Amino acid sequence: MQSHELLREVLQRTSAKQVAADLGLSMSMIYKWAEPDDGTGSGAVNPLDRVESLFRCTNDHRLIQWICQRAGGFFILNPKTNKPHPSFLIPATNEIVQEFADLLAVIATAASDNQITLKEATSIRARWEELKTVTEGFVACCEEGNFSALKAAQPPAQEKH
């Protein structure tokens, strides 16, 4: 779906007049956002396209994460997958368990003095985001029956001496 199409649908359920008033813009501008900006029409570059452009030029996922947090959610990057290879299922499962253990260790350390500081809360959040990312990658591979992406994320096996 193109951004202008999404905005058109949003404006069918939300008052363009209210959006214009809340943003301090003209209703004309709000409606232009819902039209294609192909250079021939009356459409205008809309905020969704600008956010996408900002992300593309910085390639910084924190921009998207920030928007998701403001909306009450979180961003999880979709894993890149190739061909099925189920032999990496156990290591992938172990990685999730390890990430969860790491999160629990951070929580236990932070809570050991019966208080959580802002720095500790930030650390807990970071571990939680990492656990969600690893788990989402695992679940996506399960849904696709494709574990080769998990193989690529595994550290190389250490040689035994």
pLDDT digits (tens, 9 = 90+) for 1-46: 899 999 999 999 999 999 999 999 999 999 999 998 766 656 788 9
Pair 136, 99 in one domain: yes
- How many domains does the chain contain in total? 2
Q: Is residue 137 part of a domain?
A: yes
What mean pLDDT comes out for the span 140-145? Answer: 78
Helix (H), strand (E), coil (C) string for the chain: CCHHHHHHHHHHHCCHHHHHHHHCCCHHHHHHHCCCCCCCCCCCCCHHHHHHHHHHHHCCCHHHHHHHHHCCCCCCCCCCCCCCCHHHHHHHHHHHHHHHHHHHHHHHHHHCCCCCCHHHHHHHHHHHHHHHHHHHHHHHHHHHCCCHHHHHHCCCCCCCC
Q: Inform me whether the pLDDT recorded for 79 exceeds 70.
A: no
Q: Inform me whether the pLDDT recorded for 47 exceeds 80.
A: yes
Domain range enclosing 18: 3-70
Confidence of residue 81 (pLDDT cuts 50, 70, 90): low
Pair 99, 43 in one domain: no
